[in-house]
């Protein structure tokens, strides 16, 4: 959900079963950052995985239920998966996959945005999918994405390539 839908950690933790619409291939993000609701697409791959997860884990209200802790300090907590739990799951999965580079929860959201730009999505649609208030926040991804751009090169390379004798 973090990568496949570009959700923030709190948004992924707050998905209820009723927010999933497998027929329309969407998930409703309720009260995301800025207290706004939005719909994001669900891929067929993610839908298959979510259905298997739901069948196996039988979540009640929240898609991702945490384990209740007895005598927990700090007040009442609902049964959602904790932020630290999500962070631990991402860290553990990246290590298990052999990824050397540091990966955190937000890395997956950034990668979602970058990949969509590289696949040709326009910046305004991406802004809406990410739930950004300001376009400036989304424009950061244009500097990261390599959509249709050539890698930097020296003009000496093209000059000498043009002057080099042709070999047959």
The answer as to whether 100 is a domain residue is yes
CATH of the domain at 93: 1.10.443.10
Question: Domain range holding 28?
Answer: 9-163
Number of domains forming the structure of the chain: 1
Quick one: three-class SS letters along the chain?
CCCCCCCCHHHHHCCEHHHEECCCCEEEECCCCCCCCEEEECCHHHHHHHHHHHHHHCCCCECCECCCCCCCCCCCCCCECCHHHHHHHHHHHHHHCCCCCCCCHHHHHHHHHHHHHHCCCCHHHHHHHHCCCCHHHHHHHHHHCCCCCCCCCCHHHHHHHHHCCCCC
The answer as to whether 25 is a domain residue is yes
pTM given for the model: 0.76
Verify whether residue 51 is a known catalytic residue.
no
The answer as to whether 35 is a domain residue is yes
Q: Which of 33, 36, 48, 51 is catalytic?
A: 33
The answer as to whether 2 is a domain residue is no
The answer as to whether 58 is a domain residue is yes
For residue 30, pLDDT beyond 70: yes
Verify whether residue 132 is a known catalytic residue.
yes
- The string of pLDDT tens digits covering residues 74-89 is 444 566 778 888 899 9
Model pLDDT, residue 75: 45
The answer as to whether 3 is a domain residue is no
Model pLDDT, residue 38: 92
Q: Which of 13, 80, 127, 132 is catalytic?
A: 132
- The string of pLDDT tens digits covering residues 103-122 is 999 999 998 998 888 888 88
Over residues 91-96, mean pLDDT: 93
Over residues 32-38, mean pLDDT: 84
- The string of pLDDT tens digits covering residues 120-151 is 888 999 999 999 989 988 888 776 666 555 55
The answer as to whether 1 is a domain residue is no
Verify whether residue 110 is a known catalytic residue.
no
The answer as to whether 128 is a domain residue is yes
């Amino acid at each position: 959900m973090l990568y496949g839908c570009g959700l923030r950690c709190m948004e992924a933790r707050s998905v209820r079963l009723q927010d999933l619409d497998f027929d329309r291939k969407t998930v409703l993000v309720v009260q995301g950052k800025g207290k706004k609701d939005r719909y994001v697409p669900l891929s067929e791959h993610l839908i298959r995985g979510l259905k298997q997860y739901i069948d196996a884990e039988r979540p009640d209200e929240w898609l991702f239920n945490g384990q209740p802790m007895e005598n927990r300090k700090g007040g009442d907590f609902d049964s959602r998966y904790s932020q630290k739990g999500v962070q631990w799951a991402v860290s553990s999965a990246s290590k298990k996959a052999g990824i050397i580079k540091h990966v955190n929860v937000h890395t997956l959201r950034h990668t979602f945005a970058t990949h969509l730009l590289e696949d040709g999505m326009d910046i305004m649609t991406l802004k809406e999918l990410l739930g950004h208030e300001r376009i400036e926040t989304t424009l950061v991804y244009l500097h990261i994405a390599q959509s249709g751009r050539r890698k930097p090169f020296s003009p000496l390379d093209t000059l000498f390539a043009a002057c080099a004798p042709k070999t047959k």
